[in-house]
Amino acid sequence: MKSYSIALIPGDGIGHAVTDAAWQVLEAAAKGSDFALEGKRFPWSCAYYKQTGAMMPADGIETLRGFDAILLGAVGWPAEVPDSVSLHGLLLPIRKAFVQYANIRPHRLLPGVEGPLKAKSFDILCIRENTEGEYSGAGGRVHQGTGDEVAVETSIFTRKGVERILRFGFEQARSRRRKLASVTKSNAQKYSMVFWDEITAQLAAEYQDVEVVSYHIDAMAARMVMAPESLDVVVASNLFGDILTDLGAAIQGGLGFAASANITPDRSAPSMFEPVHGSAPDIAHLGIANPIAAIWSAAMMLDHLGEGAAAAKVMAAIEATTARGIGAAPGKDRTETITAAILAALE
């Protein structure tokens, strides 16, 4: 029997509850199939940092490299560890080290979920560049603490990086409704974003079967609210994609529904699956985190591993659950109630 090794990193806050829920569903999905899942848990988190002085061990990346996939909850506990330390110590280095350059984030309404918009039948696939751009980490501060202080944060866009994420988006569009929206801010940012627009135009000539439109990020933000049904695949830089996908989460009913996959397309390293949301310190001890985003992310993991049938079963169980109204409205149901209903629907 095939067996997949999965690294589990629950992280902080509601990362624990939603990862537990997703793992229960994965184990149940594996039970009725011809594959096995072997999970190994890693306590890497802000609590781990407070004990050891690091978010993960020095050989953490090498340890993860041996797994078939990574399932992550959420990282960050800003009351105790600065976000700039925790995220640059765990989540961001994994994305970069494993060249998980394509961050796929689907936005659509699950059955039974109202969402805040009049539009009900949108199906957007955001493809976020995940390894460079505004998250390059290049920069610095001079004259710190003085009246002359200057802070510089440099965005780095490489032809290789921009071309590969756009190409990934075009391929996704080909398997969907053949529409691609490329998002920049080239009216204000005259180097990187003009460069991105040029590469979009070059690839558009190669993918003539895909309808391509370039949007500015501000106009795209409005379009996602006013006319989300007009969008299919949306490709954006690291920061723009980050912001658009919380907006995408909002229009699909909330952060508890937004799933994501950090994909290493050439499969030279494990891909990582995690909800779009964070550790939600405001509700972390209340037992009301919606586990659907994490469970949907787990379904994306099964699909990536080649277990499409099991992935479809998990999605069907999520949809049957929200269609009954369970987990469909923010804060209404407890994490365990939603998880139990999804497990029952899987049977």
Closest approach, Cβ 283 to ligand NAD, in A, equals: 4
What the block records as the tokens of 41 is 């848990």
Q: How far apart, in whole angstroms, are the C-alpha atoms of residue 9 and residue 91?
A: 10
Residue 68 interacts with which of ligand IPM, ligand NAD, Mn ion, none, CB < 5 to 8 Å by class:
none
**Contact between 276 and ligand IPM (CB under 6 A)?**
yes
By DSSP bridging, strand 69-74 and strand 271-275 are: parallel
What the block records as the tokens of 86 is 């925790």
- Closer to ligand IPM at the Cβ: 76 or 254? 76
Q: How far apart, in whole angstroms, are the C-alpha atoms of residue 287 and residue 184?
A: 39
Closest approach, Cβ 207 to ligand NAD, in A, equals: 31
Give the closest residue to 246 by CA, choosing from 276, 280, 201.
Answer: 276
Closest approach, Cβ 88 to ligand NAD, in A, equals: 11
Q: Which of 12, 242, 307, 333 binds ligand IPM (CB under 6 A)?
A: 242
- Closer to ligand IPM at the Cβ: 11 or 169? 11
The binding track of 247-276 with respect to ligand NAD, each residue x by CB under 6 A or -, is: --------xx-----------------x--
Give the closest residue to 187 by CA, choosing from 214, 167, 207, 206.
Answer: 214
Closest approach, Cβ 82 to ligand NAD, in A, equals: 9
Phi first, then psi, for residue 103 (nearest 5°) are: -100, 110
**Contact between 280 and ligand NAD (CB under 6 A)?**
yes
**Are the C-beta atoms of 245 and 105 separated by less than 8 Å?**
yes
Tell me the sheet residues that pair with 106: 125
Q: How far apart, in whole angstroms, are the C-alpha atoms of residue 148 and residue 151?
A: 10
What the block records as the tokens of 269 is 């390293």
Stretch binding ligand IPM (CB under 6 A), from 84-92, 143-151, 197-205, 295-303: 84-92
10 Å CB burial of residue 132 (0-12, 13-18, 19+) is: buried
Within residues 172-231, the interface with ligand IPM by CB under 6 A covers: none
**Contact between 7 and ligand NAD (CB under 6 A)?**
no
Closest approach, Cβ 200 to ligand NAD, in A, equals: 27
- Closer to ligand IPM at the Cβ: 135 or 196? 135
**Contact between 242 and Mn ion (CB under 5 A)?**
yes
**Contact between 87 and ligand IPM (CB under 6 A)?**
yes
10 Å CB burial of residue 214 (0-12, 13-18, 19+) is: middle
What the block records as the tokens of 325 is 């109204």
| Number of residues binding to Mn ion, judged by CB under 5 A | 1
* 3-state SS class at 120: coil
Which residues sit at the interface with ligand IPM, rule CB under 6 A? 76, 87, 91-92, 242, 276, 278
Which residues sit at the interface with ligand NAD, rule CB under 6 A? 14, 18, 74-76, 78, 83, 87, 91, 255-256, 274, 277-283, 289-290, 293, 330
